[in-house]
Amino acid sequence: MTAKILVGKGSCGIAAGANVVFDALSSGVRESGVDCPVTITSCVGMCYLEPIVDVIDAKGVKNTYVRMDQKGAGELVKALKGEDSAVAQYLISDADAGVLSAQRRVALLNCGIINPELIGEYLAADGYKAAEKCLKEKTPEQVIDEIKISGLAGRGGAGFPTWFKWSAARSSKGDKKYVICNADEGDPGAFMDRAIIEGDPHVLIEGMLIAAYAIGSDEGVVYVRAEYPLAITRLEIAIEQARDAGYLGNNLFGSGFSFDMRIKAGAGAFVCGEETALIASLEGERGMPRLKPPFPAQKGFWQQPSNINNVETFANVPWIIRNGGAAFSAMGTENSKGTKVFALTGKIAKGGLVEIPMGQTIRDVVYGVGGGIKDGRAFKAVQMGGPSGGCIPAGLIDTQIDYKTLGATGAIMGSGGMVVMDDTTCMVDMARFFLDFTCKESCGKCVQCRIGTKRMLETLERICEGEGREGDIELLERLANQVKDASLCGLGQTAPNPVLTTIRYFRNEYEDHVYNKKCTARQCKPLLTYSIEPEKCIGCTLCAKKCPNDAIAGEVKKLHVIDMDKCVKCGKCVDVCKFNAVIVE
């Protein structure tokens, strides 16, 4: 007897085809007359296995089917009817099931388990108990103390102690105070905040409610990226349900405390991740940062004391209140407490979201949870912290994941993006990629950031195009330090990090580009040469026919030759050759 079927409908699951699977299961179950509701959950973090379907029987035993499709849905319906079925081939392997058991879930506790669109399921998972405990049994000071004991630090990137911000906002005088959630997850390569809002929106509401009580605020705003439509929809539903159920509004839990919140969709500006820029954007201005102090805790939204935390930070709060700050600080290291969610992507075998206690090593994450590098290639580096972070090379794979140790490598913890790179990734090109991003996203207020990043980008482009000059590497280092020193906000202060870390660990690659005009990762096209291997070429003429610039000469059944003077390095010949005869160096 089956109790229910759960289809993972996070953004990633939907992109992989979860809607098709959901529809097929719904209609299949309905037509077959099997008594079993088909419902949804969100991303459990194993994005590489999507679409994922969980079947939970009446005893609560769960079977997980992965990489489902329409056919798999049909087989599953057959199995439910007790007919012969090939659904077992979709069952999750033990190795993949191990990906989840190797983690420790706090912020992602309910993600991929509950239906994010039903408040009842959140309540059944002890939802809003933490808020009730705070409002009924604790003073705001006691709440802040509990967070202090937990050692929770801001998960958005800066790692500032959460209790300190709350305490500062509490002690600031103002007619009105605001709790703001920064869900403007702009780091390319990071999506934990999206996953939390899509998968467990009530945990964010509860976390914000507790923060509001602690600082004495009655109004909350969630600043969400407009690029996350599903997250916005689910949060809207959750806010509505929380209001109806009496978890948002006046006189909550009969305590006399009131709090309500709303969503503000961002309009696409990376710099709005910076607190003061975010506030400017909320006020309808261009999102440009301003000098601190005054800090937002003193003068924030509409000049009132405001507390801004990241989604993941808020998501940890209910767990901390329920289990005690000490239970949270028992996880992690001396200077970094609790767990951290990472978005593991790039050239990784098992990409997705992982939550681990602080203090594990990069090796634990990449090889332990992530299953190593795609296609068995060599691990080259991992990029952490997005455009503000840096590349940690393979030689430092045993680096412990905590704020201090990561900081010492030149990278940062950041919001949790972990982009894995293999030997086909060019580190100079990576630096160019990030500078292209920060240069575009610089708000333009500080000269060094606005023009410095542009000059750095031009230098990097020159190097990648084979026009690198002697002294370019040193020029990059000099510019990097100037941009760092003379920028007002975090964007400019950290923008040179990707360049500095790649120069620090991969200087030889820069030198290869500049002096030898070679890109060993074969990514920088202008530095490549194309030739045809005589032993492999059978003279099929395909490459010559497809070459857009007539750079390949040769007759039928005779060896073809590429004229590098004419070659535009488009790579067409490599794509079309069926015999792998084109060599790229």
Nearer of residues 146 and 200 to other proteins, judged by Cβ: 200
Q: Could you give the 3-state DSSP secondary structure of residue 336?
A: coil
Check: CB of residue 108 under 8 Å from CB of residue 338: no
* Residue 480 binds to other proteins (criterion: CB under 8 A): no
Question: Which H or E run includes 321?
Answer: helix 311-323
Nearer of residues 428 and 430 to other proteins, judged by Cβ: 430
CA dihedral 553, 555, 558, 562 (to 10 degrees): 10
Local structure of residue 14 (DSSP, 8 states): H
* Residue 568 binds to other proteins (criterion: CB under 8 A): no
Q: Which of residues 297-316 bind other proteins (CB under 8 A)?
A: 302
Residues 6+ apart with CB under 8 A from 253: 131, 132, 135, 136
Check: CB of residue 12 under 8 Å from CB of residue 43: yes
Query: In the complex, what is the shortest distance from the CB of residue 92 to other proteins, in angstroms, rounded to a whole number?
Result: 16
For residues 308 and 170, what is the distance between their CA atoms, to the nearest angstrom?
13
Nearer of residues 220 and 417 to other proteins, judged by Cβ: 417
Q: For other proteins, how many residues bind (rule: CB under 8 A)?
A: 56
* Residue 419 binds to other proteins (criterion: CB under 8 A): yes
For residues 523 and 520, what is the distance between their CA atoms, to the nearest angstrom?
8
| Choices 214-222, 250-258, 400-408, 430-438; region in contact with other proteins by CB under 8 A | 430-438
Q: Which of residues 364-393 bind other proteins (CB under 8 A)?
A: 383, 386
* Residue 223 binds to other proteins (criterion: CB under 8 A): no
* Residue 100 binds to other proteins (criterion: CB under 8 A): no
Check: CB of residue 347 under 8 Å from CB of residue 336: no
In the numeric block, which tokens belong to residue 185?
Answer: 């997850």
Q: Which residue has the tokens 């980008």?
A: 457
Angle between the 311-323 and 201-215 helix axes, to the nearest 10 degrees? 80
Query: In the complex, what is the shortest distance from the CB of residue 265 to other proteins, in angstroms, rounded to a whole number?
Result: 6
Q: Which of residues 433-462 bind other proteins (CB under 8 A)?
A: 433-434, 437, 441, 443
Q: Measured in Å, how far apart are the chain's first and last C-alpha atoms?
A: 61
| Choices 42-50, 207-215, 235-243, 308-316; region in contact with other proteins by CB under 8 A | 42-50
* Residue 286 binds to other proteins (criterion: CB under 8 A): yes
Query: In the complex, what is the shortest distance from the CB of residue 584 to other proteins, in angstroms, rounded to a whole number?
Result: 14
Query: In the complex, what is the shortest distance from the CB of residue 345 to other proteins, in angstroms, rounded to a whole number?
Result: 4
> Could you write out the DSSP letters of every residue in 468-535?
--TTHHHHHHHHHHHHHHH-SSHHHHHTTHHHHHHHHHHHHHHHHHHHS---TTS--GGG--EEE-TT
Query: In the complex, what is the shortest distance from the CB of residue 78 to other proteins, in angstroms, rounded to a whole number?
Result: 28
Q: Could you give the 3-state DSSP secondary structure of residue 280?
A: helix
> Binding residue for other proteins (CB under 8 A) from 21, 269, 366, 463?
269
> Binding residue for other proteins (CB under 8 A) from 153, 282, 297, 321?
282
Query: In the complex, what is the shortest distance from the CB of residue 442 to other proteins, in angstroms, rounded to a whole number?
Result: 12
Q: Closest Cα partner for 423 from 473, 481, 455, 377?
A: 377
Query: DSSP alpha helices (H): ranges in 33-128?
Result: 70-80, 94-101, 119-124
Q: Which of residues 166-185 bind other proteins (CB under 8 A)?
A: 185
Nearer of residues 430 and 488 to other proteins, judged by Cβ: 430
Nearer of residues 123 and 230 to other proteins, judged by Cβ: 230
| Choices 121-129, 252-260, 334-342, 347-355; region in contact with other proteins by CB under 8 A | 347-355
Nearer of residues 143 and 190 to other proteins, judged by Cβ: 190
Query: In the complex, what is the shortest distance from the CB of residue 240 to other proteins, in angstroms, rounded to a whole number?
Result: 17
Local structure of residue 265 (DSSP, 8 states): E
* Residue 417 binds to other proteins (criterion: CB under 8 A): yes
Q: Closest Cα partner for 203 from 113, 337, 301, 282?
A: 113
* Gyration radius (Cα) of the chain, Å: 27
Q: Which of residues 12-31 bind other proteins (CB under 8 A)?
A: 12, 14-16
> Binding residue for other proteins (CB under 8 A) from 51, 127, 159, 186?
186
Binding site for other proteins (CB under 8 A): 11-12, 14-16, 47-48, 50, 185-191, 194, 225-229, 264-270, 281-287, 302, 343-347, 351-353, 383, 386, 417, 419, 421, 425, 430, 433-434, 437, 441, 443
